Amino acid sequence: PVCSMGNSTSRLYSALAKTLSSSAVSQHQDCLEQLDSSRLDPIDPKDLLEECQIVLQKRPPRFQRDFVDLKKNAVSNHRPIRVMQWNILAQALGEGKDNFVQCPMEALKWEERKCLILEEILAYKPDILCLQEVDHYFDTFEPLLSRLGYQCTFFPKPWSPCLDVERNNGPDGCAMFFLKDRFELINSANIRLTAMKLKTNQVAIAQTLKCNETGRLFCIAVTHLKARAGWERFRSAQGCDLLQNLKNITQGAKIPLIVCGDFNAEPTEEVYREFSNSSLNLNSAYKLLSPDGQSEPPYTTWKIRPSGECRHTLDYIWYSQHALNVNSALGLLTEEQIGPNRLPSFNYPSDHLSLVCDFSFNQDPDRLL
């Protein structure tokens, strides 16, 4: 019965209200991994959004964020590709390790917080979704997003800190989702990042997709580098390893590339410079929101821990600037919207802001580096 998720009689019966419990996940993970999502009933995203809003009716409404048009007279004859990057905050870490001293524990309740996360995803309707700190993949994100038309991939950390938390929901990791009616999967690689020739606890997923509308190939990658101050050289080594893997996958930048991630690194760090100066000719999409197009946002994460306030720019969407154009990017939350208690909160489910960009292919496919 645990593995049977289809044939629901109500919109929620086998969707939101019936996403599996933690114990069911650990008992039936093999079964879940073998689920054929094409045999499950599709969900109408409007219905799911409505159900999320019913669960969230006692919470304040979603913040308004607007897209900033970045097109420089670019003419595109195909629909843009919307990419969403987000560290959603692992449930076990939010409740058991991260010590958000100004965030009430009630705001972190999973039954409501998962609806806030889903509401954010449903509001922006990404064609490709890249997530970090996913520890509810098998019981929430895979069963729901597969029924919204996404192909889903998950790569957990080998030694996830979530496993140290009592009553955890398994390891956290990176997850990638793309709409099957827009793209065809050509190749997929799960990458365990190395540093100083040693395998590390950080991972990446890189998938080569074909855009059904244009026939163009591109590679999309998601990663989450090592956290904390003092690990700058380690992050730099992980970044070098990821770049080398991506050079091989993209045949030295012949295939356009988008890299989403929580790099745990400010723009002043070496790993940021490595990505900026790579032979893959990458640019950071959110720099384009600045007046000169050269500065990163002032923050992508803002929280208060026992040690004090933490306001940093750590999250990025990198892209092949010779092959892709950024049509628009989602503006960040203002300090006023975030509020004095910072993130997460009753209004917003994670300590990191979601980043969303619309990309189009350069109209001259032969123009390379």
In the prediction, which pLDDT does 363 show?
A: 78
Q: Return d(Cα 186, Cα 83) in angstroms, integer.
A: 18
Rounded CA gap, 315 and 299, in Å? Answer: 9
Q: Report the number of distinct structural domains present in the chain.
A: 1
- State the residue range of the domain holding 264: 80-362
Location of structure tokens 């690194």: 265
Confidence of residue 112 (pLDDT cuts 50, 70, 90): very high
Burial string for 267-288 (b: 16+ CB within 10 Å, else e) reads bebebbebbeebebbbbbbbbb
Taking the C-alpha atoms of residue 131 and residue 84, their distance in angstroms, rounded to an integer, is 8
pLDDT in tens, 28-40: 444 444 455 556 7
Does residue 65 lie within any of the structural domains? no
Q: What gap in Å lies between CA 275 and CA 277, rounded to an integer?
A: 6
DSSP state of 6: -
pLDDT band at 99 (very low <50, low <70, confident <90, very high): confident
- The closest of 317, 316, 347 to 333, measured between CA atoms, is 347
pLDDT confidence band for 18 (50 / 70 / 90) = low
Q: Is the pLDDT of residue 124 over 70?
A: yes
41: in domain: no
The CATH number linked to 335 is 3.60.10.10
| Share above pLDDT 90 across residues of the chain, in percent, rounded to a whole number | 82
- Cα distance between residue 303 and residue 343, in whole Å: 5
Q: Does the structure show a pLDDT above 60 at 10? A: no
Spatial CB neighbours of 9, under 8 Å, sequence gap ≥ 6: none
Whole-model pTM: value is 0.91
Residue 12's pLDDT is what?
46
Give, to the nearest 10 degrees, the angle between helix 110-124 and helix 45-55: 140
The confidence score (pLDDT) of residue 73 equals: 63
Per-residue pLDDT reduced to its tens digit, 328-355: 999 999 999 999 999 999 999 999 999 9
pLDDT band at 322 (very low <50, low <70, confident <90, very high): very high
What is d(CA 53, CA 92) in angstroms, rounded to the nearest whole number? 24
DSSP per residue, 20-66: PPHHHHHHHHHHHHT--GGGSPP--HHHHHHHHHHHTTTSPPPPP--
Does some domain include residue 49? no
How far is CA 107 from each of CA 55, 60, 120, 335, 343, rounded to the nearest angstrom?
A: 13, 11, 16, 19, 10
State the pLDDT confidence band at 368, using cuts at 50, 70 and 90. Answer: very low
In a domain? residue 68: no
Q: Give residue 364's pLDDT band: very low, low, confident or very high (50, 70, 90).
A: low
Q: What is the mean pLDDT of residues 215-231?
A: 97
16 domain-assigned: no
Q: What token pair was written down for 203? A: 């991972």
Residue 5 scores a pLDDT above 50? no
* Domain membership flag for residue 165: yes
Q: Is residue 329 part of a domain?
A: yes
User: In angstroms, what is the C-alpha Rg of the chain?
Assistant: 20
Q: Which of 9-23, 29-43, 129-143 has the lowest mean pLDDT?
A: 9-23
Residue 65 amino acid letter = R
Mean pLDDT of the chain: 90
Low-confidence winner among 18-32, 36-50, 168-182, 193-207 (lowest mean pLDDT): 18-32
pLDDT computed for residue 28 by the predictor: 43
Q: Is residue 245 part of a domain?
A: yes
Tell me which DSSP letter residue 285 carries. G
